[in-house]
Structure 1
């Protein structure tokens, strides 16, 4: 009887007879509306990523998910908050690579990424290329490497965050190529790009390249992840060059460990559906990202494998405190 009732309710929701909020509650979402913790300041890429999910939950299911911005400590404050949250789906967090896969190796955090979270789904791929000024003498990645080998320590480069994924992956690649370069730390990607455009450094590895590429201010040389960049599919990648780390950077949704399977399934279904919606395409255009969907099982496997691989590289590079 209950199965028939659920089938009937779902059918009515599709035809628009039943209010969307009733459809959502009938599908098992808890009484308390969800909150999505974002470990970054409002207005950035993390805001865009969390907001597209929250808006789709409201428009497609009638569930008003709210955003709570808790920047600081490289996103680990937000991660710790959700790790200690109720296991009923009322508190989730935006996933990004560094606080879950990098930070636990190099700073004290109150959570274990292998046991403290339910990795619900990944929903957007992010490109993190290495780029130079458009008037740089380096036309491609190999030219930059040739210069760096011939001029040990003179190549100056930066990332959006010291000891983040981009930093560690690029250090590993340079070491494999026999290159000694000078890493210049900055507090954020905007500062690093400003230094690049001002001629103070030679290259930047960051995701916020889009507006500068559109303006013709920068030239991309290589993508640090495994997947080609949408705008320049022929650009080499760290994977194609066989470098030690080519971890796909992504945004996703996580909850505390032990999240009920029906809550995980609810979000998996919503996020998969969202990746086919027009607003998702608009979001990817703004982000300069690429289509990605990983179920909880695939997402969990990829996060844990990446976490362990990054730890191995941190040890080999001598970056662990």
Structure 2
């Protein structure tokens, strides 16, 4: 009888502890690791540092950016998937990590089951950027140049299976041009080699400051509208190329993170991204606020996952 009572008491204590856990985690006040799966200097890192500073102010909780680099974002994503679901670790990652890379190669995590979507933060305005001395002033001339120099024209990316890789692959698929893909560990490295003339083109918005400084030149904007900072640069659509690929940055928590904690971070992120000065700050690196909370972003994630899966299969796009 005593043994039964003790077992029952222990079970009730465990249940009480579990019931109290979500409330405690929702009010987590310790430092938050904000993992960025790419090196410093790229748009993911720039956004993360701005976002971390504002979240610190909003919640009074230190947000510490950690660049966990490797395998096209996979290593950083895996580290968050395996992190304790206690509100202490979040992932800030671009489109590729969850809805592109898993359709091109095996990844050590389930992109839709091992994470809780917290919020979509911003969307990207892609820029097709060329070395300054490339003999082409727009995308039409670049395609003609690439066809005349078949197999000798190169484009760099932030890594295999990133959107900066996929955009170049889709351009090649749609135009029939064979270009050499040079993957890097991040956008900053690709841009540095473009500045040095070691590659010809990148499909990456990180180049905006160098374009404005006259060190690189823009051939096209990948969005449906012209870039506010580059009003004279035509879109790909204006140049008869349809390349409207969803591109965004989002916030994720490890699977099993309590919903109360997710909602708390999402609400704070919504306030941060809707701040009056945020639009002006983001456009400097070709981003714009496009906040979505957990439910809306979860639907968007599934939609974009299906889109990229179909695109990759239809185009028979593969890793080199």
Question: Structure 1 length normalisation: TM-score?
Answer: 0.78
The equivalent residue for 1:246 is 244
User: How far off its partner does 1:253 sit?
Assistant: 0.9
Superposition pairs for residues 189-228 of structure 1, below 5 Å?
A: 189-226=187-224, 228=226
Q: State the alpha-carbon separation in 1 of the partners of residues 83 and 122 from structure 2.
A: 24
* 1:4 corresponding residue in structure 2: none
Q: Secondary structure at the match of 2:206?
A: coil
> Relative to 1, partners in 2 of residues 1:49 and 1:143: Cα closer, same or farther, differing over 3 Å?
same
In the aligned structure 2, how far is the partner of 1:111 from the partner of 1:69? 19
Mapped partners of 1:198, 1:68: distance in 2: 28
Indicate conservation of the 8 Å contact 1:160/1:188, yes or no.
yes
Superposed counterparts of 1:1-321, under 5 Å: 28-30=26-28, 32-42=30-40, 44-226=42-224, 228-233=226-231, 235-237=233-235, 246-277=244-275, 280-281=278-279, 283-315=281-313, 316-319=315-318
Name the SS for the 1:175 alignment partner: helix
Distance of 2:138 and 2:210 partners within structure 1: 18
Q: Which runs of 5+ in 2 are unaligned?
A: 1-22
Instruction: Please say which of residues 39-48 and 71-80 is displaced more in the overlay.
Output: 39-48
Moved more, 292-301 or 235-244: 235-244
User: Matched residues in 1 for 2:125 and 2:276: separation?
Assistant: 21
* RMSD (Å) for aligned C-alpha atoms: 3.1
1:185 to 1:45, Cα distance in 2 relative to 1, 3 A: closer
What secondary structure does 1:147 align onto?
helix
Q: C-alpha distance in 2, partners of 1:186/1:68?
A: 19
State the distance in 1 between where 2:174 and 2:85 align. Answer: 43
Measure, in 2, the Cα distance between the counterparts of 1:263 and 1:55.
Answer: 19
- What's the counterpart of residue 18 of structure 1? none
CA contact (8 A) 2:139 2:219 kept: yes
Q: Is the 8 A contact 2:72 2:160 kept in 1?
A: no
Work out the CA distance in 1 between the residues paired with 2:197 and 2:82. Answer: 45
Which range moved further: 259-268 or 224-233? 224-233
Matches of 1:38 and 1:197, distance apart in 2? 25
> Aligned equivalents of 2:218 and 2:66: distance in 1?
34
- For this pair of structures, how many residues does the alignment match? 297
Native 8 Å contact 2:90 2:253 kept in 1: yes
Decide which moves more: 260-269 or 279-288.
279-288
Query: SS in structure 2 opposite 1:139?
Result: coil
